Amino acid sequence: MRQQPFDFQVKNFLLNLARILGTRIEKILDLYLYVSPDTVRILEVVEKGGEVVGVRLAVRSTKRQDVWYYTSVGWYGAKCTCEGNTIGGKICRHIIIGIMTWNMVSLLKYGKDIDLSKLTWLNIGEKEI
Ligand SMILES: [Zn+2]
């Protein structure tokens, strides 16, 4: 019977993320549903003091199947190798996927959500989603 609270927690997290990003929940759900073993690969999970403090991952481009972007997210910031982030300095969809993946790893390993209010960099950058 762990399924239900888990789903509830994930749903709440996604709603919260949409609110913080000032975007529609549908857009966040699209990104969430894009995540699969074919499109997202977790390269590194960084843990410290009994919590997940960040993840590094590769996200496949939606436009070009052979292109992967390398993204890292953590409490102090996020980086991505896509143009939107490297040139435009924007918070791109890969970074958003990174946050979702980070949260999922944290939920599965420690049963707790990441605290989005601690991601102050999320409020600063221009969003590209
Ligand atoms: Zn990106």
Ligand 1 centroid vs 112 CA: distance in angstroms? Answer: 26
**Are 101 and 34 a contacting pair, CB within 8 Å?**
no
Ligand 1 centroid vs 2 CA: distance in angstroms? Answer: 33
Q: Is the pLDDT of residue 3 over 70?
A: no
Ligand 1 centroid vs 82 CA: distance in angstroms? Answer: 4
pLDDT, tens digit, for every residue of 43-100? 999 999 999 999 999 999 988 889 999 999 999 999 999 999 999 999 999 999 999 9
Residue 103 to residue 111: CA distance in whole angstroms? 10
- Averaged confidence pLDDT in the chain: 92
> Among candidates 36, 21, 30, 37, which has minimal Cα distance to 90?
21
Task: Spell out which residues have Cβ within 5 A of ligand 1, the ion.
Answer: 69, 80, 82, 85, 92, 94
Ligand 1 centroid vs 95 CA: distance in angstroms? Answer: 6
pLDDT, tens digit, for every residue of 16-46? 999 999 999 999 999 999 999 999 999 999 9
Residue 60 to residue 68: CA distance in whole angstroms? 4
Ligand 1 centroid vs 61 CA: distance in angstroms? Answer: 9
Per domain, the residue ranges of the chain are 3-128
Ligand 1 centroid vs 79 CA: distance in angstroms? Answer: 8
> Phi and psi (nearest 5°) for 29?
-65, -40
Residue 31 to residue 87: CA distance in whole angstroms? 22
